[in-house]
């Protein structure tokens, strides 16, 4: 496909993998992304007929989830007036700029899994004002973006970018003086970005002036229209991925200590099973029984935690998740993880370690402990048979 900067920004093809904790829905030419904290709209060519009804359906869909909405409009087309009539308020008009990528081969300092570096970028982002894509959202989607993202931190200057087709899209720049460095850089140096040919940015004010001075040209205008939620929106997404964060290290450290976790392919059981727990042998269950196991445990976990309390799902030596069990499944994103492991140890756990499950892949067992056992034991026994062992209170 020949490069089209505006199409790169408003391409309404849903991603193959939704962002972590988000739900993507299509309504004709409109694609909605529901993050749980807010919603975003992208769209293809909009019809003249029934446009008011189409806009009204989007307003209703986001209101139903209590999400404020961001709807970017490229150029001043007939949609802008319909959004204003529906209650949307426009941000200041910005410019969409592009240029071929530069030829500077000097290495830019990236971050990778350096958590302190990410914290520094977050501080710079807050101090430098609004960005096309807030850094907190960019960071939350790090697993979704994988190798198509880039974070640069050079002293007190930072930027974050995402690859869209053959364009590298600037999501944020904390210092306009950094703009020239980004324009000059050859983004093809990194293996995942070999197909990139253009740099694409949305900018206003001093940042726009800096990009234009560095050689970028204006393609069109963009205005972001915003509509508040009916009530106070959620502050966090339903699910957050954890991997290199201190929080992830801390919950694992406490689990090792509290449960005397001893990973081993032959020494069973893998933990000091807490008093008042029961362990079921899972290895010979059929698919229907495994489905029942997951359904019963998920329901029990949801009923066992306090309103607003989050759970952890941990996968030994892999990424884990922190999530709100009341906001997953149904209209929300899928429940993360599984009860019975398919290769490594799987654990559901509350932050205070008082209840959860421990799945042992080599012994082929699942231990259920805490208040959760009280809630699910009768159903698990009916579905799976009697526990293989107990740790009496």
What is the rounded average pLDDT of the residues 135-157?
A: 85
What is the rounded average pLDDT of the residues 106-135?
A: 90
What is the rounded average pLDDT of the residues 277-283?
A: 93
What percentage of the chain exceeds 90 in pLDDT?
76
pLDDT at 306: 95
Q: Is the pLDDT of residue 365 over 90?
A: yes
Q: Report the alpha-carbon distance of residue 273 to residue 356 in Å, rounded.
A: 11
| Partners of 311 in beta bridges | 323, 350
pLDDT at 46: 86
**How many other C-beta atoms are found inside a 10 Å radius of the C-beta of residue 209?**
13
pTM confidence score: 0.90
112's enclosing H/E stretch is none
Cβ-in-10-Å burial (0-12, 13-18, 19+) of 115 comes to middle
pLDDT at 1: 40
Q: Is the pLDDT of residue 143 over 80?
A: no
DSSP symbol at 176: G
Q: Give CA angle at 382 (379, 384), nearest 5°.
A: 100
Tokens of 248: 């992830």
pLDDT digits (tens, 9 = 90+) for 328-364: 999 899 999 999 998 899 999 999 999 999 999 999 9
What is the rounded average pLDDT of the residues 371-390?
A: 95
pLDDT digits (tens, 9 = 90+) for 161-213: 998 888 999 999 999 999 999 999 999 887 778 889 999 999 999 999 999 99
What percentage of the chain exceeds 70 in pLDDT?
97
Q: Which whole-number Å values give the CA distances from 336 to 155, 239, 241, 252, in the listed order?
A: 37, 8, 10, 18
Q: Is the pLDDT of residue 2 over 60?
A: no
184's enclosing H/E stretch is helix 179-184
pLDDT at 311: 98
Q: Is the pLDDT of residue 305 over 60?
A: yes
DSSP symbol at 190: S
Q: Report the alpha-carbon distance of residue 201 to residue 94 in Å, rounded.
A: 10
- Given a contact cutoff of 8 angstroms between Cβ atoms, the answer to whether 97 and 170 are in contact is no
3-state secondary structure of 124: helix
pLDDT at 3: 62
Phi-psi domain of 55 (left: phi exceeds 0; alpha: psi -120 through 50; beta: other): alpha
pLDDT digits (tens, 9 = 90+) for 38-81: 999 998 888 888 999 999 999 999 999 999 999 999 987 789 99
Return the higher-pLDDT residue of 114 and 118: 118
Tokens of 220: 């069109």
Cβ-in-10-Å burial (0-12, 13-18, 19+) of 307 comes to exposed
- Provide the angle, in degrees to the nearest 10, between the axes of the packed helices 287-304 and 371-384: 160
3-state secondary structure of 183: helix
Q: Indicate the length of the chain as a whole number.
A: 393
5-227 homologous superfamily: Gcn5-related N-acetyltransferase (GNAT) (3.40.630.30)
Q: Report the alpha-carbon distance of residue 62 to residue 299 in Å, rounded.
A: 26
Measured in whole angstroms, how far is the alpha carbon of residue 364 from the centre of its chain? 31
DSSP symbol at 185: B
Q: Report the alpha-carbon distance of residue 188 to residue 165 in Å, rounded.
A: 13
Contact partners, residue 91, CB within 8 Å, separation at least 6: 223, 224, 225, 226
Q: Nearest to residue 199, comparing CAs of 216, 214, 212, 218?
A: 216
pLDDT digits (tens, 9 = 90+) for 76-112: 778 999 999 999 999 999 999 999 999 999 989 988 7
Indicate the domain borders of the chain: 5-227, 239-391
Instruction: Kindly write down the DSSP assignment for every residue of 85-96, as one continuous string.
Output: HTT-EE---EEE
pLDDT digits (tens, 9 = 90+) for 208-253: 999 999 999 999 999 999 999 999 999 999 999 998 889 999 999 9
């Amino acid at each position: 496909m020949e490069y089209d900067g505006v199409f790169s920004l408003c391409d309404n093809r849903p991603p193959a993998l939704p962002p972590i904790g988000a739900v993507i829905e299509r309504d004709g030419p409109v694609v909605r992304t529901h993050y749980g904290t807010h919603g975003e709209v992208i769209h293809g060519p909009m019809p003249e007929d029934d446009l008011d009804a189409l806009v009204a359906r989007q307003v209703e869909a986001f209101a139903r989830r209590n999400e404020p909405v961001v709807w970017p409009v490229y150029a001043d087309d007939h949609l802008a007036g319909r959004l204003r009539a529906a209650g949307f308020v426009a941000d200041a008009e910005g410019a969409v700029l592009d240029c071929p990528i530069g030829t500077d081969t000097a290495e830019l300092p990236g971050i990778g899994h350096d958590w302190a570096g990410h914290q520094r970028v977050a501080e710079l982002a807050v101090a430098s004002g609004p960005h096309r894509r807030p850094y907190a959202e960019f960071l939350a989607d790090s697993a979704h973006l994988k190798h198509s993202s880039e974070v640069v931190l050079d002293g007190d200057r930072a930027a974050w970018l995402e690859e869209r087709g053959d364009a590298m899209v600037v999501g944020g720049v904390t210092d306009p003086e950094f703009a020239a460095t980004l324009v000059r850089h050859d983004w093809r140096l990194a293996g995942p970005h070999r197909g990139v040919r253009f740099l694409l940015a949305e900018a206003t004010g001093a940042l726009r002036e800096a990009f234009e001075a560095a050689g970028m040209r204006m393609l069109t205008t963009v205005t972001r229209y915003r509509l508040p939620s009916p009530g106070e929106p959620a502050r966090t997404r339903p699910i957050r991925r954890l991997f290199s964060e201190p929080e992830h290290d801390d919950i694992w450290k406490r689990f090792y200590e509290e449960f005397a976790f001893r990973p081993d392919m032959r020494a069973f059981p893998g933990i000091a099973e807490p008093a008042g727990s029961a362990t079921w042998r899972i290895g010979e269950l059929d698919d229907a029984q495994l489905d029942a196991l997951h359904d019963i445990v998920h329901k029990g976990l949801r009923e066992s935690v306090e309103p607003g309390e989050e759970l952890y799902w941990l996968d030994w030596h892999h990424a884990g998740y922190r999530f709100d069990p009341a906001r997953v499944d149904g209209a929300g994103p899928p429940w993360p993880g599984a009860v019975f492991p398919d290769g490594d140890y799987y654990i559901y756990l509350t932050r205070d370690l008082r209840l959860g499950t421990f799945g042992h892949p080599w012994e082929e067992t699942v231990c259920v402990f805490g208040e959760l056992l009280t809630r699910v034991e009768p159903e698990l026994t009916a579905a799976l048979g009697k526990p293989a062992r107990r740790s009496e209170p």
